[in-house]
Structure 1
Amino acid sequence: MLGTFVSIVSVSSMALGSAAWSAAALTGLCQALVAALLMNVAIVGINQVYDVEIDKVNKPYLPLASGDLSMQQAIGIVAATAALSLLLGVLSGSPALLATLALSLLLGVLYSMELPFMRWKRSPWLAALCILAVRAVMVQLGFFLHMQHALGVTGGVTGGNFIVTRPLGFTMSFMLLFSVVIALFKDLPDVKGDTQAGVQTFSVRHGTKIVFWTCVGLLMAAYAGGIAFALTSPEPWSRLPVALGHAALAALLWGRSAKVNVGRKGELTEHYMFVWKLFYAEYLIIPFLR
């Protein structure tokens, strides 16, 4: 929830650019935040409803797996939060916000539900596609365009054709690479449960060590790209915070990764959560991109 909050504020700030926060901008931000947080609950809830047996092995502390929530209560929460989120999207009058919410829900359903042609999480490629679509494209593009709609400006739209700005283009590319890592890394702590359930993730197929260091290498490449982006920025004032920010995060990643025992589920889980912190730490840098 905190990560969703940070990412939306960051992308909205990027769309705002050098303009001041106005009443219209704050209204647009609040619309995005409330609707997106509700949808976040719904999508995570769908996953837990259909993964309850797997979670009893991998994550027994979750509400359904532990018995803190009944299945009926969980389904009620999912239905209510999804419906309210979509209603807020409609009431906002923003096509970009509504499309982002609806497509996120659709992908959440395709990813988790045990129905014909669904349960995409069983396929490492389709699972990665879901995460990439949401984290790398829809969050950046959807909330960027929603903020511009709230401001009543065309911004990056000329003659009806969308033009990707330099900061938006970098952010989407960076988050694409980072989302690949998250899609791979998320299964590392769950090898035992996934093997029992017949879920053939990359971690099950190729082993935790290979997937772990592949993820670390991809992230280091992403941070190198961030430093290169900073050094070519047309605005001198933005170069230092962007370059130093990416260098600091790369150093943290390398230092932590070198200490992880990939044979221990607890350490993999802890490192996976650390990777998510790195992911959302990037959103602290994004407003400085020029």
Structure 2
Amino acid sequence: MTDFDAPTSLWTKVLTVEASLWMGRVHLLGQQTFILIGWYAAVAPDGTPDPLPLIGLCTFLFFGFVALQILNDVKDVEGDRITAPYLPLPSGLLSVRTAARLAVAYMGVGLLALLLTLPHLFWVVVILATTGAAAGILVAYSKLKGQGVLASAIITVAFALPLLWAWFVAGGGDPIVLVTLVFYTQVTYFSGNIIAALHDVDLDERAGNTTFPVRVGAPRAFRFMVGVAGVGWLLVPVIALLGPYGMWALPFIVPGLALLAVSYRRMLRTLQVPDRGRLRRIDDLGPMKVSDQFRNAAVLAVFAPWVALVAFAVIQAIAWSGHYLYMWRIVRGGLVRSLAQETGAGLPGPDR
């Protein structure tokens, strides 16, 4: 395992940082869509505020998300030895101390972005305070995983924060729009949390995680999750009526619903097959996640059509290319081999 303070080469430190960024799931940028929704919903249709705070918010969300994901992996390292032993901590690629210190450093970078871009220190304090609350919710979630849908409901509270930050920093707007968008966000992340739990359904019980899919079975949990996602789809036309460019949601609604319709039965069949493993489950449920991202882009298009198109294209390009890099560097051990070659110390073992 590597320690950032150890007398190692610069390239070894670069590889250590790379490992920590993969821990932060840097290729998954879907949460940025909600910053954009909150911002453009507040300024649409003719507001043109300074875009610098938006850039700062997106930067903070990126590094803050990385930091919280790392801390989540630190907290769940023992369970990950069973469900995802290839991750940097259980594989011994990083020490817990190094990972935690890098998480603090990433949060510091995000804080610097806020200080340089937000118009008032008040917003920096509010965002940091609510981020701390989100970290507390994350800890509570890990202790309540066995409570089924209650745990999923608890964790979704934290995911409304980026939308709220952007909305209020941009100046706010119609409270009916805000309430509708917050409810949409909760529905989206509620179903998304169940998707994430389905990835580990084969091994979670062995790791002591009695999640909702473990409690009720993967097929039943999937049907319930699709029903929740359906509520999200029903909210899209409601939001379209509240925004200035409602018709622009259609180019995203049609392919999103079509993808869900054509892949539903196949996804359900694979969930009826036991012991497929985490990586196959992630691939199996990929169409569901892309369908959700089409839906999120549809909501953004109601307020900023061209921003929705560009954001969707960029997020998808990074997600797909990042997925293959992640498989190569983390799952198949490319980063472990690079580090072993650089240090000449052989392949690292588990951090026990």
Matched residue type, 1:65: P
TM-score, with length taken from structure 2: 0.66
2:184–2:232 Cα contact (<8 Å) kept: yes
1:281 maps to 294
Q: How many residues align?
A: 268
Alignment partners' CA distance in 2, 1:67 and 1:287: 41
- The equivalent residue for 1:59 is 84
Which residue pairs with 2:98 in the alignment?
73
> What CA deviation, in whole Å up to 9, does each residue of 1:221-247 have, x standing for no partner?
3213323553x4575xx3432244223
Report what 1:102 is aligned to: 129
SS of 1:259's partner is helix
Q: 1:10 and 1:183 mapped to 2: Cα distance?
A: 20
1:132 equivalenced with 2:143 (yes/no): no
Is 1:11 aligned to residue 38 of structure 2? yes
Separation in 1, partners of 2:125, 2:262: 41
Give the aligned partner of residue 341 of structure 2: none
Separation in 2, partners of 1:27, 1:67: 40
> 1:19: Cα distance to partner?
3.2
Spell out the pairing of 1:241-256 with structure 2 (5 A cutoff).
241-256=248-263
Q: In 2, Cα distance between the equivalents of 1:95 and 1:120?
A: 33
Give yes or no for contact 1:94–1:146 (8 Å, CA) kept in 2: no
* Equivalent in the alignment of 2:195: 185
Question: Which structure 2 residue ranges, 5 or more long, are not aligned?
Answer: 1-25, 304-352
**Separation in structure 2 between the aligned mates of residue 185 and residue 209 of structure 1, nearest angstrom:** 12
Residues 83, 120 of structure 1: alpha-carbon distance in 2 compared, 3 angstrom cutoff: farther
Is contact 1:111-1:120 (8 Å) kept?
Answer: no
In the other structure, the counterpart of 1:160 is none
Pairing 1:173–2:183 present: yes
Name the amino acid aligned to 2:301: F
Give 1:81 deviation, angstroms: 2.0
Which 5+ residue runs of structure 1 have no aligned equivalent?
149-154, 157-162
Which has the higher mean CA deviation after the structures are superposed, 45-54 or 218-227?
Answer: 218-227
Alpha carbons of 1:146 and 1:122: their partners in 2 closer, same or farther (altered >3 Å)? farther
SS in 2 for 1:56: helix
Select the residue among 218, 237, 256 that pairs with 1:227: 237
Q: Deviations over 1:129-164 (max 9, x none)?
A: 3431122x222222211222xxxxxx43xxxxxx51
Q: What TM-score does the superposition give when structure 1 sets the normalisation length?
A: 0.79
**CA apart distance, 1:204:** 1.2
- Aligned residue among 281, 286, 309 for 1:268: 281
Contact 1:187-1:203 at 8 Å conserved across structures = yes
* 8 Å contact kept, 2:251–2:298: no
Mapped to 2, the partners of 1:171 and 1:83 lie a distance apart of 29
Cα distance in 2, alignment partners of residues 179 and 76 from structure 1: 28
Distance 1:198 1:52, change over 3 A: same
Displacement of 1:40: 0.6
Corresponding position of 1:164:
175
Identify which of structures 1 and 2 has the higher relative contact order when contacts are C-alpha pairs closer than 8 Å and 6+ apart.
Answer: 2
Alignment counterpart, residue 169 of structure 2, candidates 141, 146, 149: 146
Residues in 2 aligned to 1:147 and 1:241: alpha-carbon distance in whole angstroms: 22
Taking a change above 3 Å as real, the CA distance of residues 63 and 147 of structure 1, as seen in their structure-2 partners, is: farther
Q: For the Cα contact (< 8 Å) 2:82–2:207, is it kept in 1?
A: no
The separation in 1 between residues aligned to 2:104 and 2:242, in whole angstroms, is: 45
Q: State the Cα distance separating 1:216 from its structure 2 match.
A: 1.3
Note if contact 1:32-1:97 (Cα within 8 Å) is conserved in structure 2.
no
Matched, 1:29 2:28: no
Secondary structure, in 3 states, of the residue corresponding to 1:64?
A: coil
Q: Which amino acid in 2 is paired with 1:259?
A: R
Task: Evaluate the alpha carbon distance shift between residue 174 and residue 33 of structure 1 in structure 2; reply closer, same or farther with a 3 A threshold.
Answer: same
- RMSD (Å) for aligned C-alpha atoms: 2.9
Aligned-partner residue type, residue 30 of structure 2: G
- Counterpart in the other structure of 1:47: 72
Distance 1:16 1:94, change over 3 A: farther
Residue 16 of structure 1, CA deviation? 2.1
Shift of 1:59: 2.0
- How far does residue 214 in structure 1 lie from its aligned partner after superposition? 1.1
Q: Distance in 2 between matches of 1:66 and 1:234?
A: 48
